[in-house]
Chains A and B, each alone.
Chain A
Amino acid sequence: MANLKAIRIRIASVKSTRQITSAMKMVSAAKLRKAQDKIVRLRPYANKLHEILVNLSQSLADAEVENVFARKSAPGKILIVAVTSNRGLCGAFNANIVKEAKRLLADKYYDQYMSGNVYFLAIGKKGHDLLRKQGLKIASEYNALLNDLTFEKTAEIAGKIMADFARGDLDRVEIIYNHFKNAAVQILTTEEFLPVETAPAAGKQGPPADYIYEPDSESIMKELIPTSLKIQFYKAVLDSYVAENGARMTAMHKATDNATQMIRDLTLQYNKARQASITNQILEVVSGAEALKG
């Protein structure tokens, strides 16, 4: 009988867990859609900016624009931006980032790591905790950013990194994040943020339109390069945020399915036990009656 009761309690507990996971799945789905909307809204801006940049680079032809963000030097000081999430329950989302960061340390920046010149910038509490546990140097953390992700706040962080780079305090900046492919698939991406690849490949888009440039094409170019870098940074963080919610949605979907399966198994077990106990009781009654007769 005790066994019966134990199973009943377990069924109840799994049922309430299933309720929670399925609610979390709904929440993630809603957040995912909202985050995707943000990417859609960013797109016209990013596209237009790119168009203007291509246009400018065509009119500049071969004239090299001096660009502090393209400074290529021996990689001395490295900053790795690890974009993770503030909350867990999203599968291997955060662990993958840390794994990739460690791989980067072992393969690409081993010497710099040994001489203690690799710093981390954590966006997301989970990654921050995991990196700290590994004993890695964390220069700064911006975990609050993910609570309210806007371009302005993200651009501020990107601006700080860019200023450090321009000053020569950093020689290379890498971003590690999860790229959103679909709700179930995240692609781990490592992107070299700084230095930038010089001059975007001039596309063949016919003769450039006859624009008046004010003040002149070179200054506009200089003005727009930081903006486009900030956009790139924002895109990466936003991408990761979308991927996070996708990952959580999938993880919670699986958890809900598992809970359903578990309830089914437990119910079967419960019914078997119940049947067995009824059979036992009948046997007792019958044999008791037999004994009286005799």
Chain B
Amino acid sequence: MKIEILTPDSKVYEGEIESIRVPGQKGSFQVLKDHAPIISTLDKGMVRIIDEAGKELIYEIDGGVIEVKANKIILLSESVK
């Protein structure tokens, strides 16, 4: 799966990943390969990414929105740490 994490100031992360866990507004959820297309707003919280090498990356976001479509994920957030 390909992912891009974007903020208005920069591109925070771009790469191939195994899975991502995001703080959805209706509860946290995980996205794996071949997930159905979804657009969801996100709450403030942690984003956990497992990259291809199995390494875990953690970002703290301040709300935002995620779009998943055909194994391509785009995460927009106003601020990422």
Contact = CB atoms under 8 A, between A and B. Distances in A.
In which size bucket is the chain A interface?
A: 20 to 34
Interface in B53-81: 65, 67, 69, 74, 76, 78-79
Interface in B1-33: 4, 6-11, 24-26
Nearest to A56: B39
A116 to B, nearest CB: 36
Contacts of B8: 41-42, 45-46, 151, 155, 231, 234
Query: Would you call the interface of chain B mostly helix, strand, loop, or mixed?
Result: strand
Interface residues of B, number: 23
Nearest to B9: A151
B63 to A, nearest CB: 8
A214 B26 contact: yes
Contacts, number: 82
A38 B40 contact: no
Query: Would you call the interface of chain A mostly helix, strand, loop, or mixed?
Result: helix
Nearest to A41: B10
A213 B68 CA distance: 11
A44 B78 contact: no
Interface of A: 38, 41-42, 44-46, 48-49, 52, 55-56, 150-152, 155, 209-215, 217, 219-220, 223-224, 227, 230-231, 234
